[in-house]
Amino acid sequence: METLPWTMQQNRVPQFPCPYYEDLTESSDFDFSIEVAPPPPPPPPYFSGPNCDTWNTGLSSSTNPLQKRNSMEAMREMIFRIAMMQPIHIDPVSVKPPKRKNVKISKDPQSVAARHRRERISERIRILQRLVPGGTKMDTASMLDEAVHYLKFLKKQVQTLEQAASNRPIGAVNYSSLMKTWQPVQMVGSEPMLS
């Protein structure tokens, strides 16, 4: 069994004299005081506006949940407005499922039907990922949640456009060009995607 030195048993650190300390303090002009610099000011918010008054990197704990939700909704709406202006083109090659290698495929009719159903679902999800802003960078559950928000936004936009069109005089609206602009985009395949 090891025995500890007496100083460690007493929970004390041994004191050793510093032979140079007295020379420095008595005959030196060296200042031993330490100055601590004040902390830098917090960074300014990245974006401020009427709808985003709390938009910065670290929302403080004093920010209430309503303000956080409003700023997130404003940011989401801004992203949706930008995405709404972008053309939609879905390449059929990018929608095709990846090739499977070295997988034994069952020929059981029930398994074949289930596999076809899963493939159709996967294809529709890949198409939806390309339609939803940022959908290709999310997992499926998050993308579906974002798709719900995007559809609500688009529905509100359609209602706003219909209301604006109903407030105009009949002669002021060129309905043929309006209908060409808002025709639904033909999706991959012959079946309508949103029915």
Q: Tell whether 59 is covered by a domain.
A: no
Q: What is the pTM of this model?
A: 0.44
pLDDT of residue 121: 92
Q: Tell whether 7 is covered by a domain.
A: no
10-residue mean pLDDT profile of the chain (195 residues): values are 55 56 52 59 54 46 73 79 72 67 79 90 89 87 91 90 82 56 49 47
Mean pLDDT for all residues in the chain? 69
Q: Tell whether 57 is covered by a domain.
A: no
Q: Tell whether 63 is covered by a domain.
A: no
Residue 161's H or E segment, with its range, is helix 140-167
Q: Which domain holds residue 112?
A: 108-163
pLDDT of residue 170: 62
Chain CA centroid to CA 45, Å: 18
Q: Tell whether 170 is covered by a domain.
A: no
Backbone φ/ψ region at 70: left (φ over 0), alpha (ψ -120 to 50), beta: alpha
For residue 184, give Cα distances in angstroms to 107, 120, 152, 160.
39, 21, 16, 17
Give the total number of structural domains in the chain: 1
pLDDT of residue 188: 46
Collapsing DSSP to helix, strand or coil, 99 comes out as coil
pLDDT of residue 142: 92
pLDDT of residue 98: 67
pLDDT digits over 139-176, tens only? 999 999 999 998 998 899 899 889 888 887 665 555 55
pLDDT digits over 74-85, tens only? 778 777 777 776
Query: Tokens 């309508």 belong to which residue?
Result: 192
Q: Tell whether 138 is covered by a domain.
A: yes
pLDDT of residue 134: 86
Q: Tell whether 155 is covered by a domain.
A: yes
Q: Tell whether 41 is covered by a domain.
A: no
pLDDT of residue 10: 58
